[in-house]
Amino acid sequence: MHYFRRRYSTPNPYLDHDPFAPPRPAQAAPSRAARHRLALQALDGTFAVADLETTGLSTSSCEILEFAAVHVAPDGSIEREFSQVVRTQGPVPPFITRLTGITQAEVDGHGIPVAEAFSAFLSFLADTPVFFHNASFDRRFLEAAAAHTGLPFPNATHCTLQLARQAWPELPSHKLQNLARHVGAADPTHRALADVRSTVAVALAARRALAGL
């Protein structure tokens, strides 16, 4: 991956910004309705679904443990899959091994450094829009990985949790396991690729449920 820096003919601490101009107004975040519309538009084309497993909940003290993603064609078929365990700097907590099945031996034997895993993940995604279940969680860890490695994560991201709440407001819970059972998909297992496949089924079912609304 190559990066290019713009060169200027003369030093200018303000670059192309007028220091006496009034500050530009902050760009408003898209409304919920706009985010919903953009997500449905993304589901009509080729898109990706991704998931992370981590060693905990905090980006300040926990690490990405596994990346997984798939490319989904407009007809809903899975075209390609990606999965990679990360060689974490700290040990895998026992409760994470119980939850995910990822052992320290697997991390030591098959994991690669996070910079390599993140780079491969980005290369797999290319420029496709990406869906996560509870996207804000994954996005926080991806932004931390981007800051740590210097590799940007520019992809548009969408949230199947939000789509599911729109599609099935009557459900008492919109956890991935409950949604997978609701749409007749395999239960997620807390391994990233298995959870991605469940999320694909939820995304496609939500697309059908929300079509024309």
CATH number, domain containing residue 72 = 3.30.420.10
Q: Average of pLDDT values for 108-124?
A: 98
- Is the residue at 11 inside a domain? no
Q: What is the pLDDT of residue 93?
A: 98
Residue 96 scores a pLDDT above 50: yes
Residue 132 scores a pLDDT above 60: yes
The DSSP call for residue 86 is B
Six token digits for residue 111? 């994991």
139-172, pLDDT tens digit by residue? 999 999 999 999 999 999 999 999 999 999 999 9
Q: What is the pLDDT of residue 31?
A: 81
Residue 13 scores a pLDDT above 50: no
- Is the residue at 116 inside a domain? yes
What is the average pLDDT value for the chain, to the nearest integer? 89
| Contact indicator for 144, 59 with CB cutoff of 8 Å | yes
- Is the residue at 151 inside a domain? yes
- Is the residue at 9 inside a domain? no
What pTM did the predictor assign?
0.84
Full residue range of the structural domain in which residue 162 is found = 45-210
- Is the residue at 123 inside a domain? yes
| Total count of domains within the chain | 1
- Is the residue at 1 inside a domain? no
DSSP assignment string, 161-211: HHHHHHH-TT-S---HHHHHHHHTPPPP-SSHHHHHHHHHHHHHHHHHHHT
- Is the residue at 15 inside a domain? no
- Is the residue at 186 inside a domain? yes
| N-terminal to C-terminal alpha carbon distance within the chain | 41
SS3 (DSSP) at 123: helix
Q: What is the pLDDT of residue 156?
A: 97
Residue 8 scores a pLDDT above 70: no
Q: What is the pLDDT of residue 36?
A: 86
Please classify residue 170 by burial: count the beta carbons closer than 10 Å to its beta carbon, then call 0-12 exposed, 13-18 middle and 19+ buried. exposed
175-212, pLDDT tens digit by residue? 999 999 999 999 999 999 999 999 999 999 999 999 86
Residue 4 scores a pLDDT above 60: no
Q: What is the pLDDT of residue 213?
A: 62
